Structure 1
């Protein structure tokens, strides 16, 4: 029987100009949906897993559109609570070459941001579950969401559910001090921590030495140190770190590392020519959860997660619309992009 994964967070309406147009360079915006934990659930559903997404959405046509988008991709939406007045929105202008992408949030007073702990029956939600995933974005939405995330973690532990968390610091949502206080409390429940070179520093003040993320210089020894510091502080079973070297908005080098308490496993590095990088970290998380739940060893798990995420950078929208076979093919060394006949 397929392992069951529950993810919890905010799904937003994404409004973006066509292609690489700037805002209002033309009079159209493309409407899709996306959000950290929803993106992870979609990845897992694509891989044939039993993936559920939990949130609160208004009971109007736009809220239903988000539910339908997830349901259409195989995500279990039965535990989505309906209520509130609005769905969060984000406006995305995709960057290219030396012009960076721009993301503008309009998510204050969304249904999930104004949700109450009483909205969610975590004991029922985690019945039969194997894994729970959330990100640092969700508790950043407000003090009630910190409490809801804590109640979810407590219930998950009670049900013997593994917990993963992507630190995902968002400076537009809360301060470093608020993030550190909340995430220090929540991380005591977490088994698998996912981070990048900036999140560990922003949230916990843990940073890799001799690394310049803007100048294209990564130091592997520094990331070993970051992973070990995180694991030692919180008792994580595993720490995964994504390693992005941003050469421009269009070209990145992409790799990852997984520390399992004994071994530091580095993936191969991919040179990405980017179509859409939003959701890249979420596709990494989805790949990692799939690999770990399916018994892959640490090296195979990090190779799968990084390959999954490399493919996401070629796909428009937040969701990673790829199969296990496609990820395995790339992880196995075929990155040629040749036509498949």
Structure 2
């Protein structure tokens, strides 16, 4: 199976450790991005993983693509154009101090790209699965058109389409997201979301749930998933369910809903957070791997939640675990004992 992920790769400038931004005269530079993170996870699991993006033709753009090549991601379909490298600043939170993300990605190369620059007939050659996120159309009106054209072309070729709703309030308001995303969702086969994405992007809200306090009603998310399937003809909907006790300790679980077979829930993990950014993307990558590998819904959601649990103990956005690493957690009590 060949999976093509499409989106923006970013330069992440993070405060070292758990210091505040510019508390020290240095920032840690790594590459990342919602769709790029998925591509890396898939490559780590042995999937033929391709990534389509647009970057400036300079040493930063080249380094960004090289960061993906390191993991075995095929970036041959990506291209260069004018514009700049999108970036974000990260201050990781601790205890009651929340993490902070500051975006600086206006006029990035991919945001300025044009519809006629994408030759979908060749870009989709040999592709079995196409993945994108709600971040793409939030970047520019151009990318709204480009995403729709990509989905149309993929659907014509019977390519499975997945979308992580990935609402980002720092990129667009919920009102605009709800004007755009429902129109694009009609092409999606597998929808992935967190606790509040469906509410912010589709206007479908879970009841008896308070994301801020960490109170989640799992059965309510079953209803949300069913509504998404009915409204947009999705085959499956997956949710990550995070209970934020503090910035340092989260409860973590997930649900996979199949329109024909109903809901399947994972076991629950209590995570001492090292770096939560990219946690949802690692869930998505692991879920796609599980589904294309033919795992049952129960095994798929267990694998995806375990993989994303491990990611949140790793610095950086990319998940650096193998299938064997994930299966060891799935089949253990997760006590973190030394492996000798």
Shorter chain as denominator, the TM-score bin is over 0.9
- Secondary structure in structure 1 of the residue aligned to 2:12: strand
1: distance between equivalents of 2:101 and 2:295? 35
Q: Which residue does the alignment assign to 2:276? A: 277
The aligned length equals 339
- Which runs of 5 or more structure 2 residues have no equivalent in the other structure? none
- In the TM superposition, residue 263 of structure 1 has moved relative to its aligned partner by 2.0
2: distance between equivalents of 1:91 and 1:14? 6
Q: Which residue does the alignment assign to 2:93? A: 95
2: distance between equivalents of 1:21 and 1:177? 35
Q: Residues 168 and 199 of structure 1 are in contact (CA less than 8 Å); yes or no, is this contact kept in structure 2?
A: yes
Q: Residues 191 and 236 of structure 1 are in contact (CA less than 8 Å); yes or no, is this contact kept in structure 2?
A: yes
- In the TM superposition, residue 333 of structure 1 has moved relative to its aligned partner by 2.7
Instruction: Tell me if 1:339 matches 2:329.
Output: no
Give 4+ residue runs of structure 1 displaced > 3 Å after superposition: none
- In the TM superposition, residue 44 of structure 1 has moved relative to its aligned partner by 0.1
Q: Residues 81 and 119 of structure 1 are in contact (CA less than 8 Å); yes or no, is this contact kept in structure 2?
A: no
- Secondary structure in structure 1 of the residue aligned to 2:216: coil
1: distance between equivalents of 2:69 and 2:214? 40
Q: Of the candidates 206, 209, 213, which is equivalent to residue 215 of structure 1?
A: 213
Evaluate the alpha carbon distance shift between residue 334 and residue 125 of structure 1 in structure 2; reply closer, same or farther with a 3 A threshold: farther
Q: Which residue does the alignment assign to 1:5? A: 3
- Secondary structure in structure 2 of the residue aligned to 1:91: strand
2: distance between equivalents of 1:63 and 1:265? 41
Q: Of the candidates 236, 254, 270, which is equivalent to residue 238 of structure 1?
A: 236
- Secondary structure in structure 2 of the residue aligned to 1:113: helix
Q: Which residue does the alignment assign to 2:48? A: 50
1: distance between equivalents of 2:289 and 2:83? 34
Instruction: Tell me if 1:132 matches 2:149.
Output: no
Q: Residues 81 and 120 of structure 1 are in contact (CA less than 8 Å); yes or no, is this contact kept in structure 2?
A: no
In the TM superposition, 1:103-252 aligns within 5 A as 103-252=101-250
Q: Residues 127 and 159 of structure 1 are in contact (CA less than 8 Å); yes or no, is this contact kept in structure 2?
A: no
- Secondary structure in structure 2 of the residue aligned to 1:148: helix
2: distance between equivalents of 1:288 and 1:122? 25
Q: Residues 197 and 207 of structure 1 are in contact (CA less than 8 Å); yes or no, is this contact kept in structure 2?
A: no
2: distance between equivalents of 1:179 and 1:164? 18
Task: State the TM-score, normalized to the length of structure 1.
Answer: 0.98
Q: Which residue does the alignment assign to 2:324? A: 325
- Which runs of 5 or more structure 1 residues have no equivalent in the other structure? none
Q: Which moved more, 1:205-214 or 1:246-255?
A: 205-214
The alignment's C-alpha RMSD in Å is 0.9
2: distance between equivalents of 1:222 and 1:203? 17
